[in-house]
A and B are shown apart, each in its own frame.
Chain A
Amino acid sequence: MAKKNTDLIMHDKDIRAVKGKARIGEIAAKTLIYIFLTVMAVIVLFPFYWMIISSLKSLEEYRLTVPTFWPKTFHFDNYANAFSTANLATLFKNTVIVGVISTILSLVITVLSAFAFARLEFKGKNVLFAGLLATMMIPGELFTITNYATVSQLGWKSTYTVLIVPFLVSVFYIYLLRQNFLQVPNELYLAAKVDGTKDLKYLWKVMIPLSLPTLISITILKMMGAWNSYIWPRLVANDLAHRLITNGLRNAFQDTSGNTDYPVQMAAVAIVSFPLFLVFLFLRKYIMKGVSRSGIKG
């Protein structure tokens, strides 16, 4: 009896020892994980940090043999300088015009098409939809060659039209919204029909409010697309009056030799990046949701 008792006590001790060891291992592992993640986070953030502090340095300070990690004097005039050097006011205006118009038109087209595919019955619906999805596999460069010739022949080069019209229809957005529309129970639609509600009114009053999160995701991704597009605008509208922000930024600082005025360049880069950060800060949820389903940048 007594022996059994000590056995039990030993057993208990063992368990405590093992548990303690496990806890120490756990703490060590957690510490390592936090150290690793912090190091990675610093690496990820470093370019942003470097952009901001460089944009506030004087050119002399930037060129010091041993770089400083905090500006000695703050030169906010770099920002004013960048605004005029890169013509940022014009670029902002152009980008906003193109971004807003193309987003609105694109939303209208996407909503109408998604509604047709989700709610209406017509011959060849499934074939048409499958065909549309198949075009998503083709790399955009393949379209660009012909589209470049088409817009040249239409005389659209160097206009806002050329920046807006060719990209109004996105098969991916139609697909995304259709999936969302399909989740709205069909009974709602039939009930509205019985009540004599017109399709457009139903779309406006029921479908759109119910799929607002998806529409917001589309809006953000589309606006970001206009902000970040580079290849097509440079190809078809590279004149100062219609140049978009990314293209204009790269154009304003083409000199890659060592003599560039880096603080001003970094200030311009920061000005272009800030709106994106603001959007991200306030609408992170929608961006992440949209992105995780698309796999497409911008």
Chain B
Amino acid sequence: MNAVKDVKVKNKSKSPGGSKNPIVRSFDKWKAWIYLLPAIILLLIFTVWPIINTLRMSMLVNYNPMKAVGGATFKFGFENFTKVVSYPKFKQVLGTTMLLCVTTVPISTMLALIISVCLNAIKPFKRFLQTIFFLPYVTNSIAIGMVFAAMFNIVGSFLGSSNEAIQSAGIINNMLGFFTGNKDFYINWINAGSSYTSNIIVMIIYIVWNALPFKILILLGGLQSVNKQYYEAAKVDGTSRVRTFWRITVPMLSPMIAYVVITGFIGGFKEYSSIVGIFGDSMGPAGDAGRLNTMVGFIYDAIDSNAGRASAAALILFGIILIVTLINLWVSKKRVHY
């Protein structure tokens, strides 16, 4: 096959008429670059230069681009990295980010897996339910975050002091009150004086709600391509549903599961706008701004004042994402079947 092709090419190159090959003529060599020109110019300015510049800025202590234009010089060294790592705020944002990651990724993956398996097992209303479960994807995470905030919010002039009259404890608290049978029951979820734990619970609920549609889409797509014969064989053998799930469904789906877990972790480490949606720019309940700040928020906070430190933090974030992805790939290589 290759030999035939070679002969053909040789024949063409020998043929008279100037063009060696109908595709590659002297002008054509330039033509590709003309087509690519707009993309390449923009990529050089907004993608390639930032990569180089971020590395450079991270090595210049307390670098500030505006001061640099004014003629200031900056010391070269690793101080940005050591400063960032030793900063108590950094440990706090790293802790919050990791906490949200290790809770939301397993919960949403497990839930999406169960929902997908259930969806795959039914026929009537399947498309309808599938559409409903995809709906949260086509929303604005800030806008719907505001809806969640309204649902968890205590209405009235609740500022955290105990003698204040609460007008409405919010729909979630009302429901909890209804189910626990205690009408006066309420938890201060996100208002002033709320605890870190309750803030995190609200964030986990919102992030999981937001993460489900994509995971269901991928997992259901994978399920539909699993060969039905495996299930029929299991049925003939009288295998229980639970066993079928763990021994057939999960192994057959393992590549898709690995995919949603990896993208879930990458997205989780970049969590930011869902928190802005619920808590606003202050990234925390009233009176405790920045309490729920994340890695990305930390980078943006430093972007104006100290680009050097922001660059160092961004590179650390990149490093963490890379390591987590590699670990995930390593684990899935051992676990993913076929």
CB-CB contacts below 8 Å: B159-194 with A: 159, 166-169, 171, 174, 190-192
Which of A45, A120, A259 sits near B23, CB closer than 8 Å?
Answer: A120
**B218's closest neighbor in chain A, by CB?**
A292
B5 adjacent to chain A (CB < 8 Å): no
Which partner residue on chain A sits nearest B191 by CB separation? A258
**B143 and A246 contacting across the interface, CB-CB below 8 Å:** yes
C-alpha gap A165/B45 in the complex (Å): 10
Is A228 on the interface with B (CB-CB < 8 A)? yes
Which residues of B sit under 8 angstroms from A273, Cβ to Cβ?
139-140, 143-144
Neighbouring B residues of A65 by C-beta, 8 Å: 166-169
A122 pairs with B138, CB closer than 8 A? no
In the bound complex, residues from chain A placing their C-beta under 8 Å from that of B53 are: 146, 149
Contact B174 A67 (CB under 8 A): yes
If the complex has contacts A258-B157, A280-B138, A291-B137, are A142 and B314 also in contact, measured as CB distance less than 8 A? Answer: yes
A262 vs B149: C-alpha distance when bound (angstroms): 10
CA distance A272 to B141 in the complex (A): 11
Distance between B311 CB and nearest chain A CB, rounded to angstroms: 6
Whether B146 pairs with A148 at a CB distance below 8 angstroms is no
Interfacial chain A residues near B303, Cβ < 8 Å: 144-145, 148, 235
Contact of B129 among A41, A47, A50 (CB under 8 A): A41
Complex interface: stretch among A1-9, A71-79, A166-174, A206-214: A166-174
Instruction: List A247-298 residues whose CB lies under 8 Å from chain B.
Output: 249-250, 253-254, 256-260, 262, 265-266, 269, 272-273, 276-277, 279-280, 284, 287-288, 291-292, 295, 297
- A41-B133, A120-B35, A235-B300 known; A146 and B139 CB under 8 Å? no
Residues of chain B in range 92-109 having any CB-CB distance to chain A below 8 Å:
none
Q: Given contacts A142-B51, A153-B69, A276-B140, are A168 and B42 in contact (CB under 8 A)?
A: yes
Say yes or no: is A204 at the interface (Cβ < 8 Å to chain B). no
Please, which residues of chain B bring their CB within 8 A of the CB of A193? 22-23
Interface segment out of the listed B71-79, B226-234, B245-253, B271-279: B271-279
Number of A-B contacts (CB under 8 A): 288
| Chain B, Cβ-Cβ closest to A234 | B281
- Interchain nearest-CB distance for A265 vs B (Å): 6
A79 to B65, CA, bound (A): 44
The answer for the CA separation of A279 and B137 in the assembled complex, in Å, is 12
- Residue A125 at the B interface, CB < 8 A? yes
Q: How far is the CB of B209 from chain A (nearest CB, A)?
A: 7
**Contacting residues, chain A, for B279 (C-beta < 8 A):** 256
Chain A: residues with Cβ within 8 Å of the partner, total of: 97
Q: Once the chains bind, are A145 and B36 in contact (CB under 8 Å)?
A: no
A83 contacts the other chain (Cβ, under 8 Å)?
no
Chain B residues with Cβ below 8 Å from A146 are 49-50, 53-54, 57
1/0 per residue, CB under 8 A from B, across A97-139: the answer is 0000000000011101101100111110100000010010111
Residue from B22, B159, B314 having most chain A Cβ neighbours under 10 A: B314
Which of A125, A250, A257 is the one whose CB lies under 8 Å from B281?
A250
Q: Which of B33, B149, B150, B296 has the most CB of A within 10 A?
A: B150
Do A112 and B38 touch (CB < 8 A)? yes
Closest B residue by C-beta to A42: B132
Q: Which A residues touch B4, using CB under 8 A? A: none
How far in angstroms is the closest Cβ of chain A from B282? 7
Smallest CB–CB gap between B301 and chain A, Å? 11
Q: Which residues of B contact A (CB under 8 A)?
A: 21-24, 28-29, 31-33, 35-36, 38-39, 42-43, 45-51, 53-54, 57, 65-66, 69, 111, 114-115, 118-119, 121-122, 125, 129, 131-144, 146-151, 153-159, 166-169, 171, 174, 190-192, 209, 212, 214, 217-218, 221, 241, 259, 263, 266-267, 269-270, 272-273, 276-277, 279-282, 285-286, 296, 299-300, 303, 307, 310-311, 314-315, 317-318, 321-322
Residues in A lying within 8 Å of B, measured CB to CB: 29-30, 33-34, 36-37, 40-41, 43-45, 47-48, 50-51, 54, 62-67, 108-110, 112-113, 115-116, 119-123, 125, 132, 135, 137-150, 152-153, 165-169, 171, 174, 190, 193-194, 199, 224, 227-228, 230-231, 235, 246, 249-250, 253-254, 256-260, 262, 265-266, 269, 272-273, 276-277, 279-280, 284, 287-288, 291-292, 295, 297
